[in-house]
Homo-oligomer: A and B are copies of this chain.
Amino acid sequence: MIKTVEFTSEGYVLLIDQRILPTEEVVVECRDYQQVAEAIRNMTVRGAPAIGVTAAGGVALGAQEIATADMAEFKRRFEEVCDVIAGTRPTAVNLFWAVERMKKAANGNFASVPELKKALRAEADAVLKEDLAINETMGNNGAGLIAAGDTVLTHCNAGALATAGHFGTALGVIKAAHLQGKNIKVFADETRPFLQGARLTAWEMMKEGIDVTLITDNMAGHYMKKGFIQKVIVGADRIAQNGDTANKIGTYTVAVMAKTHGIPFYVAAPLSTIDFAIPDGGHIPIEERNTREVSHVGGKQLAPTGVKILNPAFDVTPNEYISAIITEKGVARAPFQQSLEALRKA
C-alpha cells in the first residue's frame, strides 16, 4: 500500500519525494510548516487531494510551533501560518478547502492554546483518514463505468500518489475495476513536463500488478484512432459549479480527442475538488511554473539557451467534453450544475 502523506506522533509531515520517483524511493520529513509549504511549492508532493491533506498537516504543525499561551496572539500567528500554506500553489482548490477546514476547526470554544492545538491535530488526522476512505468509495462508485477488458487511458497521476495514499482518484476507479476481476489494461500518458505519468502512474500500476503501457502525450490520439482505447479517466485540480474541470496541462487535448473518437471521458475527484463558488472554468487561476521544467530534464538541457518558453501547469476542459464526474457521493452527469449541487447536498 502506497503511503503518500503521513503524520508522525510529533506532528511532522512525511512525504514520499515525488520528484525523484521511480528511480529512488525517498521519504522527506518536514519538521516545520515552512518546510511543508516548500514541499508543496516544489512538488515534492503534488496532486490536488494530496496537497489538501499535506496542507492540513502543515497547518496543524505550524499551530504546534506557535510558542505562546495567549489565545489572541496564537490566533494572529495561526492566521499567518494559514496564509503561508494557502499561498503555495494557486490552482488546486483542495489546498484552500483544507486550510479553510483547519481555520473552522480553530474557531471552536477552547479553554487553552494546548487544547486548540490538540483539536487542530485531530482535524488534520481526520482529513487524512477521510481522504483514504473517500477514495476507496469513489473507486467503487466509478468501477461500474469500466467494462471488462477495457483499455483505459489516463493522463498525469491521479493515483495513490495524488492523494493521502492507497487508492487514488482516477487510478482508484481503475484499481476498483481491477479488483472486480475486469482484466483492465492501462495506457499512461507520460505527461510532460513533470512526467507524472511516466514516473508515478506507470510505477503505481506496476506495483498494483495492473497491465500498463507508457506512451508520450502526443501518441494518445494515434492510439484512439487505432481503436486501442475504450475509456479515458483523469483526476481534477479544480471543478467549477458547471463541471468545467482544471486538470494537468494536456487534459483538454485528451478530452477533445476522446470526443472526436466517441470515447467516454471521465473525471474522478472528491467533492473537496469542486469549487461551488465559481460558475465556470474561466474563473480558475492557472499556475505558470518555472520554464526550466520544460527546458531541462534530469538536469540535462534540451532546448537552446534563452529560448522563450511557456509552462502552464493546468488547462481547463469545458463540461461538454466530460461524460461523467465520479465523486465519493456518486456519479454526476450533465447538466452538471444540477447534478453536482445534488451530490453536495446528498
Contact = CB atoms under 8 A, between A and B. Distances in A.
Interface of A: 22-23, 189-193, 195, 198-199, 202-203, 206, 211-223, 225, 249-250, 252-253, 256-257, 260, 294-295, 297-312, 315
Contacts of A299: 300
22 contacts: A22-B303, A192-B216, A198-B303, A199-B302, A212-B308, A213-B307, A213-B309, A214-B295, A217-B218, A218-B218, A218-B250, A218-B253, A219-B315, A221-B256, A221-B315, A222-B252, A222-B312, A256-B257, A297-B302, A298-B298, A298-B302, A300-B300
A225 to B, nearest CB: 7
B221 A308 contact: no
Contacts of A256: 221, 256-257, 260
Given A192-B192, A253-B253, A307 B214 contact: yes
Total identical chains: 2
A28 to B, nearest CB: 20
B221 A252 contact: yes
Contacts of A202: 303-304, 307
Contact of A300 (B252, B295, B297): B297
Contact of A221 (B223, B253, B294): B253
A152 to B, nearest CB: 15
Nearest to A21: B304
Nearest to A306: B206
Given A217-B216, A312-B219, A303 B199 contact: yes
B301 A23 contact: yes
B308 A213 contact: yes
Nearest to A318: B225
A23 to B, nearest CB: 5
A253 B257 contact: yes
Contacts of A307: 202, 206, 212-214
A252 B249 CA distance: 18
Contact of A225 (B190, B218, B252, B306): B252
Given A203-B304, A256-B257, A298-B302, A310 B213 contact: yes
A304 B249 contact: no
Contact of A195 (B222, B252, B302): B302
Contact of A302 (B198, B215, B223, B253): B198
Given A213-B307, A214-B308, A219-B249, 15 more contacts: A189-B218, A191-B218, A192-B217, A206-B304, A213-B308, A214-B303, A214-B310, A215-B309, A217-B218, A220-B253, A221-B256, A222-B252, A256-B257, A297-B298, A297-B302
A23 B220 CA distance: 30
